[in-house]
Structure 1
Amino acid sequence: MTGFYSPRGFEEALRPPVDVRRARITPAVLRKAGRRGEGEAAARVARLARRVPEVMVKITGRTRDAGHLKAHLDYISRNGALDLEGPDGERLKGARDVAGLSRDWAEEAAMEPGRRCNSPLSLSIILSMPAGVEPTRVRDAARAFAAAAFGDRFAYVFALHDEGRHPHVHLTVRALGREGERLNPRKADLQAWREGFARALRDRGVEAEATPRRARAVTRKAERGPVRRMRERYLAGRGPLPRVLEAAYRQALRDDARPTPWRAAIRARELAIRRALVAESLRLQRSGKVEDRVLGALVERFARSRREPETREESLVRRRTDPVRDDRRDRER
């Protein structure tokens, strides 16, 4: 084994984009040789380099009253056709049980001292993996994740949907905890939930990871659902162009557009990550262990295959100047 260690840059790349002093939820990923946890660190680096599927944990909304909650539970239970499972494995069967649960949660929330009229009754969460994963494993992982994340603190129910061979779980969590606390997740909590769901999947034989976008050389955030739907309506000729996209197009079409500070910061961060990857690859390939050298070669290929970071405005400019190459690049992503 060589005498130098993994630089801090790549370790920071695998942390979530939140203030770690407030979050304190992610341990160091790359550690000095011989430290405790090195095996898990190497496994995570290998999963990242192999580009294993990333889990999705997304808050899709909040319900505000009994009627809203009932409509949501009707949707995830397919109007009572699907059972809703609770923390202790109890099953709600049929529309009557679903209506009773929404009524109970609303009545309990109404007795909360000082509750505001618009305080949410529940949070709606989707736990998802790419198509092809066995649905029962996704459901079992979701069951384990919910028990670990919420346990006996917050009541919840969930249901598995498997339309189009894309299994995902709808998890509805009551916002009012059993001890009177309220569920108000932040970005750090969402990252912790992603990592917990990915770990539950791996425990059930499904390769899964939960890394930040920058660790995967992804610059742009996923398009928000409402914006995507408005864009699709616009392309179909059934509505106006969303304002956020209109502003992006105007900026991209300007000939006097100047480089912005955040673009330089994005490129500097990507350069630091690549340097750290190369250093880690060299360290591993100089090891006396075969498994280290194999992992080093894998990390090297991953570093070489990373795409240049690109903002949305830069993508629109490229579409304007070379649409053929842009379409080919988008198909490869």
Structure 2
Amino acid sequence: MNNFLISIFSIILLIVSNKENFAQTTRTFSATDTWPAPAGVTSVKVECWGGGRNGASLTSTGGNVRGGGGAYALGNAVTVTPGTTYTATVGTAGGNSSFSSIVAAGGGNVTVGNQTGAPGGSTGSAGDVVYNGGNGADGQGNSSGGGGSSAGTSATGNNAVKETGGVAPAGGGNGANGVGSGLVGLAGFPPGGGGSGARGNNQTLAGGAGGNGQVIISYPCTHPINPTGNDLTVYFDHNPHSASATAPSGTSIKWYTTATGLTTTTAPTGTNAGTYQAWAASVNNAADGLGNVCESTTRVLVTLTIEADLPVTWLNFDGYSLINANQGLKSVLFDLFRDA
């Protein structure tokens, strides 16, 4: 019975180890940075949140200056070129966030004494789906106004209500709550929540910072299992030779010059004595839903070795022992004198 269970467990492990690796590859940017498109990836999903606007600083009594929340923009299938480096721009203090053609506007604010709620991000946003950020609100009594929330992944941002900051829908950042007299403003929450205004009391007070925007790049990738390298060692015979790799079912072999770079090459091939190497990756024969042709997560080093001399053996003069020609003249002469 125990042997039977062990056999079943071994079969399960074999099946699991040979399954393709289904993965959603995601890169999240909370600050501006670059992203090199990996091999095989030609289309990505992009989500951007604009930066929440700061609440304004005050140097006198009064004021309700509060920030609006950043917008959300989605690109379902943004074209990229493998090996090309792109910039993901993350908005701060009401700045826009962007990647390629996808742009999410940052939140706006208003001037001191203006009793109109600060607008959320909207103008300038671009994408397949766009949701506006929530508006900041006017303060009430001795409290400054709260900041608007940023938009979520499936809804517009929520407005602040008096001193209460907007509560963000799923995926967004909350706006900051307003503050009492003589206090600095509070920071909005990332991604893109608006900051609350300071409430002046004859002193210099800072408004709350808006929450930074955000950019998320993602793409589904069905990574095939790694190929099997077939190293080859031969002896120089004036003919070309090549090492190979075996591709898993449904994939092909793609050759690279390094373990991680994007420079392609061919299988290790040579005629003269020496060592020839290349890295093999398995690549899906069919593209996924976004048109990406994903590769194995690891490349395999394959080596071709061509030896300079073919080992030659012959019978010694004693009629039964063997001499290897590569032992050299000294060894052969020793045997000759010994057997004389």
TM-score by length of 1: 0.23
Higher relative contact order (CA 8 A, sep 6+): 1
TM-score by length of 2: 0.23
Hey, which of these two has a bigger chunk of strand by percent? 2
Higher Cα Rg: structure 1 or 2?
2
